[in-house]
Amino acid sequence: MIIVLKPEATEPEIEHIMDRLQELGLKSHISHGQERTIIGVIGDDRILQNQPLTALPGVESVLAILAPWKLVSREFQKDNTVIDVGGVKIGGKKIVMMAGPCAVERLELTVDIAQEVKAAGGSILRGGAYKPRSSPYSFQGLGREGLDYLLEAKKKTGLPVISEILDTRDIELFLEKADIIQIGARNMQNFELLKEVGAYDKPVLLKRGMSATIKEFLLSAEYIMSRGNRNVMLCERGIRTFETQYRNTLDLAAVPTLKELSHLPVIVDPSHATGKWNLVAPMSRAAVAAGADGLLIEVHSNPECALCDGEESIKPSKFKDLVQDLKKIAEAVGREV
């Protein structure tokens, strides 16, 4: 449910409304739009059926949110959410390039890749310190040491860092060392982990589960936002279908669909979606044309020797060329890279 406030509503009136909601056992989230300020009501809406909320000073109208996701919905917030990560704005006119190795391997290599990513036009350094792998015998990442390498690369380049968390017990570590916490596809419905990252203001990039519907995806984002964290990004990374020619099927229709249903930034990961380095560039171009707010791309100096997903990683030189190509497409759709 949404409570639309009158333009002249005062702060004491707003506080009174929120206090009243709290008395009824409901949570409230205020959103200041360009034209109106609204209060999103979280909880069992049936409690409000016999409550004369329109009688409260400052209230203009009360509207029901039809979608099962509340805070995530475009009904709750008309304006696009723009998330500021160390001066990098995600969700605005500029399409943000997040790039780096799938897995952090060595300090020198991580710093070198970060420098090349920045020189090519990248704004955020991606790198996996903890790696969820299908096989228990595959490289699982360097853990805390890998996060330290990313932090050192950040010091050398100034690039904010995004890395994936796997365990609620590591939250303090990620709050200290990462600028964006990534929730991977395998953990999209790990609700305890979603609630844990939702308890902080740290930006979160939530990846779509490999077999998740749009509804399930948005409800997972709602888990995070319902705990108070509004700095959430949605990442389309391909879904599992019958096709075996490439790793996953990149659902580009999800990009405009998510932007229609939600105000949150939408990122596309063409590397994990396709699993093939030669498909990364064309799918990146298509993602920008479809309206993506950013790309998450795997870049490695020597993909054939990479400890993880070398087959889908592009070299820094190809990443540089791709960024230049994307500038033209972005301009054609009223954006910039």
Secondary structure string (H, E, C) spanning the chain? CEEEECCCCCHHHHHHHHHHHHHCCCEEEEEECCCCEEEEEECCHHHHCCCCHHHCCCEEEEECCCCCCCCCECCCCCCCCCEEECCEEECCCECEEEEECCECCCHHHHHHHHHHHHHHCCCEEECECCCCCCCCCCCCCCCHHHHHHHHHHHHHHCCCEEEECCCHHHHHHHHHHCCEEEECHHHCCCHHHHHHHHCCCCCEEEECCCCCCHHHHHHHHHHHHHCCCCCEEEEECCECCCCCCCCCECCCCHHHHHHHHECCCEEECHHHHHCCHHHHHHHHHHHHHHCCCEEEEEECCCHHHCCCCHHHCECHHHHHHHHHHHHHHHHHCCCEC
Check pLDDT > 80 for residue 88: yes
Taking 80 as the threshold, does the pLDDT of residue 183 lie above it?
yes
295 in Cβ contact with 282 (< 8 Å): no
Instruction: Among 82-86, 129-133, 214-218, name the one with the lowest average pLDDT.
Output: 129-133
Which CATH number does 83-332 carry?
3.20.20.70
pLDDT in the model for residue 76: 86
Question: Model confidence at 129, in pLDDT bands (50, 70, 90)?
Answer: very high
336, pLDDT greater than 90: yes
For residue 32, list its beta bridge partners: 37
Domain locations along the chain = 2-63, 83-332
Residue 123 has pLDDT above 80, yes or no: yes
For 15-36, write each residue's pLDDT tens digit.
Answer: 999 998 888 888 888 888 777 7
Residue in 150, 306, 296 with CA at minimum distance from that of residue 233: 296
Q: Does the pTM of the predicted model rise above 0.95? A: no
User: What pLDDT is attached to residue 200?
Assistant: 97
Check pLDDT > 80 for residue 313. Answer: yes
CA-closest candidate to residue 330, choices 288, 293, 269: 288
66 pLDDT more than 80 = no
pLDDT at position 134 is 74
Predicted local confidence at residue 310, as pLDDT: 86
Is the confidence at residue 50, as pLDDT, over 90? no
- 16 or 49, which is more confident: 16
Q: Domain 2-63 in CATH: superfamily?
A: Phospho-2-dehydro-3-deoxyheptonate aldolase; domain 1 (3.30.70.1140)
For the segment 217-235, the average pLDDT, to the nearest whole number, is 96
Average pLDDT, stretch 128-135? 82
